[in-house]
Structures are given as C-alpha cells and as structure tokens.
Amino acid sequence: MQTGPTVALIVAAGQGSRSGSSTPKQYSAIGGRAMIAHAHAALAAHPAIDEVVVVIGEGQQAMLAAVIGEVRHVIGGATRRESVAAGLAAIGDAARVLVHDAARPFVPGAVIDRLLAALDHLPGAIPVLPVADTLAQAGEVLGDVVPRAGLVRVQTPQAFDVAALRDAHAAWDAGVEATDDAQMLRAIGLDVATVEGDIMLDKITYPADFAAAEARIAPTLVSRSATGYDVHRLEAGEELWLGGVLIPHDRGLSGHSDADVALHAITDALLGTIGAGDIGTHFPPSDARWRGAASDQFLAHAASLVRAEGGVLDFVDLTLICEAPKIGPHRAAMRARIAAILGLTEKQVSIKATTSERLGFTGRKEGIAAQAIATVRVPA
Ligand code: MG
C-alpha cells in the first residue's frame, strides 16, 4: 500500500523522572545498558525498519552520544505531541512510521511484524494487552469498580501511515494535550487496528519497575569469557606505556603503536568475547595511522564493539610478566585508567604481576608479556 521508507521515532525528550533518579530515566541503565540504547538497538535490528530517529530534549545530545554513540536525532518540544511532530517533520518521504516511547526498552520483533502487517489494511496500528487486575475509582475510600471487560492496556510502538499521522497532527487543537498518536488519528475519523502486545513492552516508570526489568532480561544474556596475550620488546630510547599509564623507566616498549602490551592483551580478550578477530584485524600494523598511536583507542573500540552487540562488560583481569619495572607502585593508576577507558568501575578491573624467575625473554628483560581475560554478557 505505502511506498517509501519505514522509520522508527523514539520519543525520549522527557527531562524529569518519577523513577527517583536525577538522570532522565531513558538514560538509566538496565542490564548495564541505557534504556534508550536497548530500544534503539531493537528497532534498528528489525529488517523492515530502514532508519531510527531519536527525539531528545534540548541539552541531551551529550547524554545520547554517551549511551549510543552518534545516531540520528532531532530536538523535541515541551510535550510528547510536539516531540512527535518534530520527528514527523524530520523524516522526509517516509511512508510508515513507528512512534515509540523510550521508557519501554524491550521491543520484541514479533510485535513490529504484527503492527506492520496491520498497517497494510488500516492507517494506524497499536499493540494492546487485556487488563488483568480489577479496576476501581480511586479515592480516600474505595470507589465503584470499573468493568474491565472490553478494556485494554495500550502500548507502543504505534505504527502509522505517515501522511495520515501528519494530517492528524495538523488538525489537532494545540490547546488540548493528546494522550497518544492513536487517539489523534481517531480524532480525524480514521480507524486504528489493535494487535497483540507483549509484557516485555511494559513501561518503566517507578523504581520497582527497574528491578523487574532487570529480572526480565537476565535470562536473555549469556556469559562469555575470552583471553588475550601480547608481547613487546624493551628498547632504549622508547617511552614505557603500560596499562595506559606512562611509567618512568630506562627503556620502553617498541612496536608500531605505543606498544602497550597490557592494553593490547585486554583488547584481544574483549574482541574474543564476540568472535571479532584480534587487534591486528581492526588496526593493521600496515596502516600508517596507527604508527605511535595511543592504545587506549584500540581498547575503547573493542569495548564499543561489544556494547554494539548488546553486550555488557562485567570484568577484566590482567597479568603482566616482567622482571622490571616493579608494577606494584603503578597498579592503582593503571587500574583507574583501564576502568576509565572501558567505562567500568575499578572493582571490575584486576591487575596482577609476576616475574618468570629470570627465565626466558622476560627473565632476561628483553621484553614484557601480558595476558588478560575478559568476561562479558551478550544476547543469547
Ligand atoms: Mg601488541
């Protein structure tokens, strides 16, 4: 019926929260990942959705970039309706749009399938679930029961023919606040289909909802551990970068980049957890860009690849093998630096050191070796 792209709008312009946190709730983490990042990844991964546009609040650009990276976004308005309108103005020749609330982080692909199928027959479609609880009028003393037969709970994403939704917004009385886009479509006389929703789409509002959501996604993640190993030669006239820290020493590590064996070993361990090759795959020594390069960017890139797959970094453990320098005096600084590069707490980073009893190349002080293990949780 419609020709043109299908776009998802994530409405995330809210500034406040009833969740008890000072951060707008859409930026709060569930399962180690911001709510808005969950929703963005789920919508972007659906094969029928061509683009995802996030509608954020003024001043939230840095928060958005911190939790998802650089993604397409527009600035919303003071109300949800105005934010949706800002999104509709930005999606050009899109034929179909899914309007979604960032407060519903988990978006099952099957619900999107049902919405888009329904959109072939009507200009709007929304996911709904039956009401299980008894409903009654609120008050200091209990009021009358509201018959729940025939009532449904309305969720998002809500799917629309773009032209129809633009008409509905254009016709809406700006002095009245709309509950959602489906009601605006009905207000211009158009029918909205209902499809089966999903409890995974339940809105996260109160502190207890966060705990319930954590429990809900825990079974969807599996734990993976992988190791990394690296060696670099010690040479006179080189700086010694180790664990992202510059250490005073008579010799330094030599290599194409800054030759930080510690960061290289952890980078390989992280890449291993998602089967993404090794550091040389991503930063080939043949590429002049990496000559003398600071290795923190390699490590940060590996962490971003894990997170892009929906992964959560849990723990990193590193062992340095050398006779000198002594690692103990620098351990705290390295731990803090590695935690900062990875966006982890220091408790999630462990650093150990050993000698090789003067045996072998490390024993002869010809080089430093490092081995690491990283543990992450990734979608099953
Ligand atoms: Mg190396």
Give the CATH number for residue 129.
3.90.550.10
Question: For position 16, what pLDDT does the model report?
Answer: 64
Residues 183 and 228 in one domain: no
192 and 299 assigned to the same domain: no
Range of weakest confidence among 29-38, 165-174, 248-257, 293-302: 29-38
pLDDT per position as a tens digit, 314-336: 999 999 999 999 999 999 999 99
Q: Which of 252, 307, 42, 45 is nearest to 156 (CA)?
A: 42
Residue 178 maps to a domain: yes
Distance 377 CA to ligand 1 centre (A): 25
Mean pLDDT of 12-16: 81
Q: Do 146 and 226 share a domain, yes or no?
A: no
pLDDT-derived band at 1 (thresholds 50, 70, 90) equals low
**In this structure, is residue 230 part of a structural domain?**
yes
pLDDT above 80 (res 281): yes
Range of weakest confidence among 30-34, 162-166, 188-192: 30-34
| Residue range(s) defining the domain that contains residue 180 | 6-205
Mean pLDDT in residue range 85-101: 97
User: With bands split at pLDDT 50, 70 and 90, how would you rate the model's confidence at 308?
Assistant: confident
Ligand 1 centroid to 284 CA: how many Å? Answer: 11
Q: What is the CATH number of the domain that holds 359?
A: 3.30.1330.50
Q: Which phi and psi (to 5°) does residue 145 adopt?
A: -70, 135
Q: Which residues pair with 152 in a beta bridge?
A: 130
pLDDT band at 21 (very low <50, low <70, confident <90, very high): low
Greater model confidence, 270 or 23: 270
Q: Measured in angstroms, how far is the CA atom of residue 336 from the centroid of ligand 1?
A: 21
* 200 and 255 both lie in a single domain: no
Query: 198 and 300: one domain?
Result: no
| Residues 189 and 274 grouped into a single domain | no
- Mean pLDDT value across residues 72-101: 96
Q: How far is the CA of 261 from the centre of ligand 1 (A)?
A: 5
The mean pLDDT value for 308-316 works out to 89
Structural domain total, the chain: 2
Whether residue 256 is found in the same domain as residue 119: no
pLDDT band, very low/low/confident/very high, at 2 (cuts 50, 70, 90):
low
pLDDT digits (tens, 9 = 90+) for 177-227: 888 999 999 999 999 999 999 999 999 988 899 999 988 888 888 999 999
Q: How far is the CA of 333 from the centre of ligand 1 (A)?
A: 21
| Residues 175, 322 within the same domain | no
Residue 17 predicted with pLDDT over 70 = no
Q: Phi and psi dihedrals of 112, rounded to 5?
A: -60, -45
Query: 145 pLDDT band (50/70/90 cuts)?
Result: very high
Taking the centre of ligand 1 as the mean of its atom positions, its distance from the CA of residue 330, in whole angstroms, is 20
Residue 18 pLDDT: 52
- Tell me: do 13 and 106 sit in the same domain: yes
Of 146, 172, 205, which residue sits at a domain end? 205
Mean pLDDT of the chain: 93
pLDDT tens column, 36-73: 999 998 999 899 999 999 999 999 998 898 888 789 99
- pLDDT value of residue 15: 77
Around ion ligand 1, residues with a beta carbon closer than 5 Å are 230, 264
Q: Are residues 256 and 188 in the same domain?
A: no
Tell me how far the alpha carbon of residue 250 lies from the centroid of ligand 1, in angstroms: 20
Indicate if the alpha-carbon torsion angle 372, 373, 379, 380 is positive or negative. Answer: positive
State in Å: Cα 308 to ligand 1 middle: 24
For residue 231, how far is its CA from the centre of ligand 1 (angstroms)? 6
Residue among 377, 288, 366 nearest 324 (CA): 366
Looking at residue 11, its pLDDT comes to 96
pTM for this structure? 0.71
Cα distances (Å, whole numbers) of residue 292 to 257, 259, 278, 316: 4, 8, 19, 25
Q: Are residues 241 and 357 in the same domain?
A: yes
Instruction: Give the model's pLDDT for residue 23.
Output: 79
The residue from 153, 178, 205 where one domain ends is 205
Q: How far is the CA of 265 from the centre of ligand 1 (A)?
A: 7
Alpha helix stretches (DSSP H) within the chain: 35-45, 61-68, 80-90, 109-118, 162-171, 181-187, 207-217, 261-273, 279-282, 296-308, 331-342, 360-363
Neighbours of 147 (CB within 10 A): 9
pLDDT at residue 143 in the model: 93
Per-residue pLDDT for 74 more than 70?
Answer: yes
Mean pLDDT in residue range 281-301: 91
pLDDT given for residue 348 in this prediction = 95
The answer to whether residue 215 sits within a structural domain is: no
Mean pLDDT of 14-18: 65
Residue 341: what pLDDT? 93
Calculate how far, in angstroms, residue 260's C-alpha sits from the geometric centre of ligand 1.
7
pLDDT-derived band of residue 369, with 50, 70 and 90 as boundaries? very high
- Scored b (16 or more CB within 10 A) or e, 278-305 reads bbeeebeeeeeebeebebbebbbebbeb
The secondary structure of residue 143, as a DSSP letter, is: -
Same domain, yes or no: 104 and 227: no
Task: Note whether residue 258 is domain-resident.
Answer: yes
Whether 210 is covered by a domain: the verdict is: no
Give a yes or no: residue 154 inside a domain: yes
Give residue 295 CA to ligand 1 midpoint distance, Å.
Answer: 9
Q: Residue 353: its pLDDT value, please?
A: 97
Q: Does residue 212 fall inside a structural domain?
A: no
Residue 1 belongs to a domain:
no
User: For residue 316, how far is its CA from the centre of ligand 1 (angstroms)?
Assistant: 18
Cα of 347 vs centre of ligand 1, distance in Å, is 25
Instruction: Return the pLDDT at 285.
Output: 85
Q: CA angle 310-48-63, nearest 5°?
A: 40
CA 239 / ligand 1 centre spacing (Å): 15
Q: How far is the CA of 366 from the centre of ligand 1 (A)?
A: 15
Cα 95 to middle of ligand 1, angstroms: 49
Q: Is pLDDT of 256 > 60?
A: yes
Could you tell me the pLDDT band of residue 20, with boundaries at 50, 70 and 90? low
Stretch 248-252: mean pLDDT, rounded? 95
Ligand 1 centroid to Cα of residue 264, in Å, is 5
